Amino acid sequence: MTTIAPASDRPETLIARAAQATGADFDFLVRTAERESGFDARAQARTSSAAGMFQFLEQTWLGMMHTRGAAHGFSGEANAIERGADGRYTVRDPARRQEILDMRFDAQTSALMAGELAAANAEVLRSRIGREPTSGELYAAHFLGASGAADLIQTARNEPDTPASQLFPAAASANRPIFYENGRARSASEVLANITRLPGEARVAPHPIDDQPLPESRSWTIRDSDVRDAGVGGGFAGTFGGSAGFAAIPRGAVLSPAVVEILASLDAPRGANRA
C-alpha cells in the first residue's frame, strides 16, 4: 500500500506526525529537513542517489522500507524488498523497485522513515555516550553512522586534538572541506563542531559516502549510510502559515531557538530567508 500525504499538509505537520509515530526528536527532524532540502519534498542530489525531503540514499531507503515499512502500513513494499548475503537490498521487478524508491518524494513517508532512522541512531548513541544525544549529534550519526558518530563524540571529549581524518579516512576523502582546512587536518573537536552546526551556520554540508554501518537496534540492521549531498536546496513548494506550524508541534516538545526560527520562517514569502 502506498499512501500519499495530501499536498496541502504543511511540512511541520508531517514532521510532527512522524515524530509522534516513531518517538524521534521533533527538533532534530525539523533541523534535518531544513539542512538537507529546505523542506523540498522533490529535492534530488546532483552527485548521489539521495532524494526527497530527507535525502535518503537508495540502499538506505530500501533497507528502511524492508525493516520498518510494515509498521507504517507498507507491508507490500517491505515484502517486495529482499536482502542479499552481501547485505544489499534488491527488488526483483525493476518497475516495482522504482515505485518504492519514488516514495522518497512523499513527504509524509520520508518523514516517517527519517524518524525511524533517527530513533534508532539515538538509541545507539544513548548507549555509547551515556546521555541523550543533541540534535547536532544525531545529525552526525546520519553523516558517519551511529557508531561512527559515537566514536567522534568520545574522541572529541577525550582526545580533542586527534585528527578526525585518522578516524574516518573514507569520509575524509569524500568530504575534504569538512576534514581539512588549507591542507591542515582538522581535529576531532573541530569536525564535530562543524557537523553539528545549526542550519544556516554550517560551512559545508556533508557529501554522501557509501557502506557506512547504521544502527543495529529495534531488531533491524541497515548497511548503507544515510549521509547527505551538498548543494541540494530550495524552498518547500507550498505556502505555510507560521501559527499553524507551531500548532502542529507535538505536545510537550521542547524547541531550540534555531527550530523556532525555522518554523517562523515558513510564514515568510518564498525565498525571503534564502540567498
Catalytic positions are 36
132: number of Cβ within 10 Å: 11
| 3-class secondary-structure state, position 158 | helix
CA–centroid distance for 137 within its chain: 12
Whether residue 153 contacts residue 130, with contact meaning beta carbons closer than 8 Å, is answered with no
CA-to-CA distance for 91 and 2, rounded, in angstroms? 16
In terms of Cα–Cα distance, which of 99, 129, 110, 152 is closest to 5? 110
Location of C-alpha cell 535518503: 56
Contacts 24+ apart (CB under 8 A), 81-85: none
Tell me the H-state helices in 162-275.
Answer: 164-167, 169-174, 176-179, 188-195, 242-247, 257-265
Whether residue 234 contacts residue 43, with contact meaning beta carbons closer than 8 Å, is answered with yes
